[in-house]
Amino acid sequence: MTQKQEYLRRGLLSKIHCHPGCKERKALEVWEDFLFSSYNVRSCSELSIDELYNLIDVMNGWAMPKIGGVRARAKSKKIVDKAKPYIPNPNEPLTEKQEACIRTMWNLTPDERGLIFIDGDFGKFVKKQTGEYIIYVHNLTITQANKIITGKQYVMGLKEHKKKEV
């Protein structure tokens, strides 16, 4: 077994042992019985890499156990690949959490219609951070709200600027 395969194997074993299905079965003391009835082994360390992939699929409810068979990797590729970060659509409206954060940081209160008007110092700050004149907080996008929140955190001293190394 090559070094890359050994790292892959260790990673798969750790994914299996951290999986809620494994923890639940171990708590009920049926993990070994599950492995024996599904794969004819008493320990995950006796499984091949393909069988480990299949075991992850089985615990997620995506497949049936395959002993010694080659599995299709289409579904489990998501599990094995590193998680891709969520990239918000720049035109999505801000989230409730972002609105609450902005409201708290600037001590803003909504009017009788439940809208927060952007004016005064806050309006100047929003213009400086986003480059646009925006009338109401609910009209901000996710990206603009992130800029406003991060900018205010820098001003308040909650975050420090990243220093560029020369």
Residues 119-159: tens digit of each pLDDT: 888 888 888 888 888 888 888 888 888 888 888 888 887 77
Q: Output the pLDDT for position 28.
A: 85
Cβ burial, residue 65 (10 Å; 0-12/13-18/19+) = middle
Domains of the chain: total: 2
CB neighbourhood size of 71 (10 A):
18
Looking at the fold, whether 101 and 60 belong to one and the same domain comes out as no
pLDDT in tens, 7-66: 999 999 999 999 988 888 888 888 888 888 888 888 888 888 888 888 888 888 777 777
What range does the domain containing 11 cover? 3-80
Looking at the fold, whether 28 and 57 belong to one and the same domain comes out as yes
Q: Token match 């499984």: residue? A: 47
Q: Is the predicted pLDDT of residue 117 greater than 80, yes or no?
A: no
Which of 45, 80, 115 is where one domain is finished?
80
3-state class (DSSP) for residue 60: helix
Which of 28, 46, 80 is where one domain is finished?
80
